Amino acid sequence: MQLTPPPTGGAPVTATYWASHAWLGTHVEPGVVLDVAGGRIAAVRTGVHAPPPGATALRGLTLPGLANTHSHAFHRALRSTTQAGAGTFWTWRELMYRVAALLTPDTYYDLARATYAEMALAGITSVGEFHYLHHGPGGTPYDHPNAMGEALIAAADEAGIRITLLDTAYLAAGFGEKPNRHQLRFSDTTAEAWAERASLLKGGGHALIGAAVHSVRAVPAGQLATVAAWAREREAPLHVHLSEQTAENDACAAAHGCTPTRLLADHGVLGPRTTAVHSTHLSAEDIDLLGSSGTGTCMCPTTERDLADGIGPAAALQRAGSPLSLGSDSHAVIDLFEEARAMELDERLRTRARGHWTAAALLRAASADGHAALGRPDAGRLEPGAAADLTTIALDSVRTAGPVPRMAAQVAVFAASAADVRHTVVAGRHIVRDGEHTRIPDVPQALASAVAAVYG
């Protein structure tokens, strides 16, 4: 059987991949050939039980490339260093500020390059970088005002993955509070100044430019509409941290007499191109506002666990109409399979019931819905016309061996890990081959060197 391709403008086939097994959205299909032309899937052929001449064999389960919808690349330098002792989100934040203060455009490029390479090794083909580290120490702008953002774009290119740079407005320390000394590097002082700088960023190719409101405590209410309008005029993604901590809800109620969700709704921030990140502590009205507006929700379970945030109402949000996506956020681990199963398993703990999402639904959150949240609705599917972004996991590792192939989607979500990724393909290019990055030969050493350079 061959799925009929859409018109391709006559682009020649530049690569052919043969998947021993592929997830086609509803089922696992053995023997699938994917022809690539112009960075897109030109044709999908099934029932091909051996690699055709010239095809690259992908042995295992081939999935659409994964989307890491929420990332702070510089947090990778914090891995494990924050695990000593006790504390809260707010004490963790002080450690994060210290690392942010040390970065330069060069060290940020090296750290992000290695972090994005780790993502490629984990099967991630696109990342949403929630970027607020804009300026030099003390808030002094760089000669190139977007030196830090441009470093991230270049790092993703070198690592071989796509990036949606979510340039973030971060203007205040809290309701009615000026930025503290740590946050001066983040602040453009006003939303208008933020918009002027962000407008200088250029996308194209592997990079899209979007926007973010850091949070309702970091962008004064009267300036939210400016950020929302900037994104709306460009039809760009708009993301926002939402109700990650109850302290934010309490402060918003004291300042404005409403929840953060209601404040965002009243200032035009919510909508189908908007994604709310975390959404951990919501009222029933908040859930209705997000769902009825079509606002997406990005859950980051490994970070929400790590920071003791709580378990967000993901199932209720989806029932209300909010599409779900996933992110590794602070990069305590980078593993979208873990994020997917954590969302289900955390909901089981909260409700003491099983089976809130099927494996298919969790894979969709980790791929198609995540890509859509990043402004790439053409990615996340193995079908003609879609972006040729793929990842293949082994079905013969100690974690995945045993189940019959038709259960491979369940194996991927509930047993596999990033360590099982064998191949990653982005726009038809083989970025990870047999578990090795083709552009950065020693990713562990690149990470070690980059982190050491940050701390000096």
Picking from 272, 275, 263, 274, the residue whose alpha carbon sits closest to that of residue 223 is 263
C-alpha 239, offset from chain centre: 11
Torsion from C-alpha of 371, 372, 376, 379, nearest 10 degrees? 60
Give 156-177 as a DSSP string. Answer: HHHHT-EEEEEEEE---SBTTB
For residues 153-157, give the mean pLDDT. 98
Using CB atoms within 10 Å of the CB of residue 352, give its burial: 0 to 12 exposed, 13 to 18 middle, 19+ buried.
exposed
Is the pLDDT reported for residue 360 higher than 50? yes
Find the helix or strand (DSSP H, E) in which 391 lies: strand 390-393
For residues 236-243, give the mean pLDDT. 98
* pLDDT at 9 (0 to 100): 52
CB 439 within 8 A of CB 116: no
**Which one from 35, 188, 329, 335 is the annotated catalytic residue?**
329
Q: How many CB atoms lie within 10 A of CB 422?
A: 23
Model confidence pLDDT, tens digit, residues 297-314:
999 999 999 999 999 999
Higher local confidence (pLDDT), 270 or 85: 270
For residues 139-153, give the mean pLDDT. 97
In whole numbers, what is the pLDDT of the chain averaged over residues? 95
Give the model's confidence band at 1: pLDDT under 50 very low, under 70 low, under 90 confident, else very high.
Answer: very low
Is the pLDDT reported for residue 81 higher than 90? no
Model confidence pLDDT, tens digit, residues 88-103:
877 888 888 999 999 9
**Which one from 241, 278, 281, 356 is the annotated catalytic residue?**
278
* pLDDT at 10 (0 to 100): 62
Residue 397: DSSP 8-state: S
Question: In the numeric block, which tokens belong to residue 285?
Answer: 């009205």
216 Cβ neighbours under 8 A, 6+ residues apart: 224, 240, 242, 248, 252, 260, 263, 264
For residues 5-12, give the mean pLDDT. 58
Picking from 156, 283, 175, the residue whose alpha carbon sits closest to that of residue 220 is 175
Model confidence pLDDT, tens digit, residues 205-224:
999 999 999 999 999 999 99
80 Cβ neighbours under 8 A, 6+ residues apart: none
Picking from 244, 186, 239, 206, the residue whose alpha carbon sits closest to that of residue 116 is 206
Higher local confidence (pLDDT), 147 or 95: 147
Q: Which residues pair with 274 in a beta bridge?
A: 238
Output the pTM of the full model. Answer: 0.96
Question: In the numeric block, which tokens belong to residue 388?
Answer: 């040729």
* 329 noted as active-site residue: yes
Q: In what order do the strands lie in the sheet with 274-278?
A: 66-71, 124-131, 162-169, 207-213, 238-242, 274-278, 296-299, 324-326
CB 390 within 8 A of CB 89: no
